C-alpha cells in the first residue's frame, strides 16, 4: 500500500509530466492558480484551507493531498487543518469523515500529529 507521502510525490511527478506533454495547458493552470491563491481579501492560507474543504467534499485524492500540503506551506497549523476537517464532517457527515482520513494519515506521516 502506498503512503500518502508517496501518493503526493507521484502527484507532483505526474504534473511535471503533464506540463511536458501539454505545456500550454500546464502553464496556464499554474498561472491561474498563482492568480487565485495570491493574498487578497483572503490570505493564501485561508484560500488553501477553503480549497481543502472543497477537495474533501469532492473526494479528489490528488486535490486533498495538494491542498493539505499547500495549506501547511503557507503557514496553516495542524489545528487549523483539523478544524477545516471538522467543518467538512459537519457539512458532509460520514463521507466527509471518510475522505478526511487521508488528511489525518498525511499529517501523521509528516510527523505533524505528534
**How far is CA 31 from each of CA 26, 28, 40, rounded to the nearest angstrom?**
9, 5, 16
Q: Give 55-72 pLDDT, tens digit per residue.
A: 999 999 999 999 999 999
Total tally of structural domains belonging to the chain: 1
The whole-number pLDDT of residue 114 equals 82
**How far is CA 65 from each of CA 7, 16, 93, rounded to the nearest angstrom?**
8, 16, 20
Split at pLDDT 50, 70, 90, the class of 10 is: very high
- Classify residue 114: in a domain, yes or no: no
- Classify residue 33: in a domain, yes or no: yes
Q: Give 79-95 pLDDT, tens digit per residue.
A: 999 999 999 999 999 99
**How far is CA 37 from each of CA 21, 70, 114, rounded to the nearest angstrom?**
25, 10, 29
Query: Which residue reads 491542498 in cell numbers?
Result: 67
| CATH number of the CATH domain containing 16 | 1.20.1290.10
Q: Is the dihedral of CA 66, 72, 78, 80 positive or negative?
A: negative
Domain that holds residue 92: 4-109
pLDDT at 28 over 90: yes
Amino acid at each position: 500500500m502506498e503512503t500518502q507521502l508517496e501518493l503526493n510525490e507521484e502527484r507532483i511527478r505526474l504534473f511535471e509530466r503533464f506540463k511536458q506533454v501539454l505545456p500550454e495547458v500546464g502553464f496556464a493552470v499554474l498561472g491561474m492558480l498563482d492568480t487565485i491563491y495570491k493574498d487578497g481579501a483572503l490570505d493564501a492560507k485561508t484560500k488553501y484551507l477553503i480549497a481543502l474543504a472543497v477537495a474533501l467534499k469532492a473526494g479528489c485524492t490528488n486535490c486533498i493531498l495538494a491542498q493539505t500540503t499547500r495549506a501547511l506551506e503557507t503557514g496553516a497549523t495542524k489545528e487549523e487543518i483539523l478544524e477545516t476537517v471538522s467543518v467538512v464532517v459537519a457539512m458532509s457527515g460520514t463521507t466527509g469523515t471518510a475522505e478526511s482520513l487521508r488528511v489525518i494519515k498525511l499529517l501523521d506521516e509528516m510527523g505533524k500529529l505528534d
